[in-house]
Structure 1
Amino acid sequence: MVVGQHNGHGREPLVSVTIPMYNSARFIRRTVESVLQQTYRNFELLVYDDNSQDESFGIVQAIRDPRIRLVRNHENLGPEGNWNKAVSEVRGKYVKLICGDDMLYPDCLAKQVAVLEDPRNSGVSLVCGQRTVIDADDNALIRKINFIDQGRHEASEVSRKIIRMGTNILGEPVCGLYPARLLEGTRYNATVPYTIDLDFWMQLLKKGDLYMIGEPLCAFRISEESWSSRIGDLRYHQFLEFMDRTASDSSFEVTDLDLFIGRINCAVHSMTSTVGFKLFA
């Protein structure tokens, strides 16, 4: 089922923001409104409901804005299937995927688009902004997570730092904006569910550099409804699997020392994040 409009401007949107949602009734209005309230206006908003069993579809359907196109799957595809469907029909030059409980700050699109539109940043395949971690009531738990400095970074530098840190230092899907042309040959892969987003970032980094904006541009929500919180104690083992898969690709230039340090840090992050998720769930 498709409930759709045009973007209302008589032209192709420069940005496609896409939201794959499932049972997101508690937060989806806030997520959608955070996109509609962007200072940057030339975008389309695609919402793909994965056959939700709650009121998610009806909530989005009731929001009247010509930039929204709402699609409902006839059957549940799961995160991998729905995320890939969500980026399969984008019209924009750039793409941002947002989970159904996260939020954008008003200048997010404007600042990320400015980076990719700057000719000096030719060869950048991913622009990320820092993020704030929030709870179910929008309260800030961590105001800024900053593992990578402002500016442009080579892919090999970033990949080795990810392994050494033993955690996702780039951020969740809400943090990134990337060129739509790079979707060819790039897809979300949930073979290792906890790192579906980071695996996607790594695929993009094989095609160019990272540009990090050093201020929070979005909010990542921790709640009992979030998919990442339901993965729970599997995080540690899944991140180790991701590290080994990444290290096996010679283009990332990961060393044995990187892996050794990363395994230690991964264990530390796993213990602290598991406690955190349980406290805030």
Structure 2
Amino acid sequence: MSYLKIENMEIAFHTLKGKFVAVNDINLEVEKGQIISIIGHSGCGKSTIMNAIGGMVFPTKGKVVLNGKEIKGPGPDRGIVFQNYSLLPWLTVYQNIFEAVDAALKNKSKAEKHEVVEKYLKMVNLWEHREKYPKQISGGMKQRVAIARAFAIDPEVLLLDEPFGALDALTKASLHIELLKLWNLTHRSKTIVMVTHDIEEAVFLSDRIVVMNNGPAATIREIEEVNLPRPRNKKDTVNLPEYRTIRERLLSLLVEKVALEESEFYKEEEKAA
């Protein structure tokens, strides 16, 4: 049985104009320890699917099952990293992680919790900045804090909602390596589901990539297997022929929809003229 399974899921919302179906007929199986990316154009339901796994929205049809149990709401077995960091500005870097660890790891002593915080701050090279407040550190450092906090609470599943979208290319590349380093240090036991617009990011990080059709009532168009060798580093991986093949295929899938929309637009313009 798959570790994480989405079965025949529909998520709809009631609006003033009636029922709005965000995603429909979503079926996905994820093995424990895999990294899965969900890509597609804006409005295709990527974050809706991730929020259903997180227990923050509920299917109107179908279900989401994690480790044999249907998801009925949020829980400590799932950690989330958002694009906007979600750090508490009145707490230091250290305190932001400790508060999460203190709440999630109730079976550990206070000393053990402090050890966990120190361990993950050192893993992301932020130990020297532990006494700083969020306003005193860069965007990349804030995201390191958010990632360290997510790993520190020891969730079974890590949900990443475009976590690197607001960062420059060099910082993003550095954080890709930090993420894989943390994942490897857990012996690849964490299952990671990431929402992204970045094709190269998805190919470099993932084992499988879920390509969405456009919404409303978005569905999964196809799932691309990424059989690139691990461990991965940027220099070697991006020069592999297989990397370039997957990247070009995904790009063509996403550009195809844009080209179709442009064609329909010009047809309408010609009719109007």
TM-score bin (small chain): under 0.3
Q: Which has the higher contact order (CA 8 A, sep 6+)?
A: 2
- Scaled by the length of structure 1, the TM-score of the pair is 0.26
- Scaled by the length of structure 2, the TM-score of the pair is 0.26
Q: Which has the larger radius of gyration?
A: 2
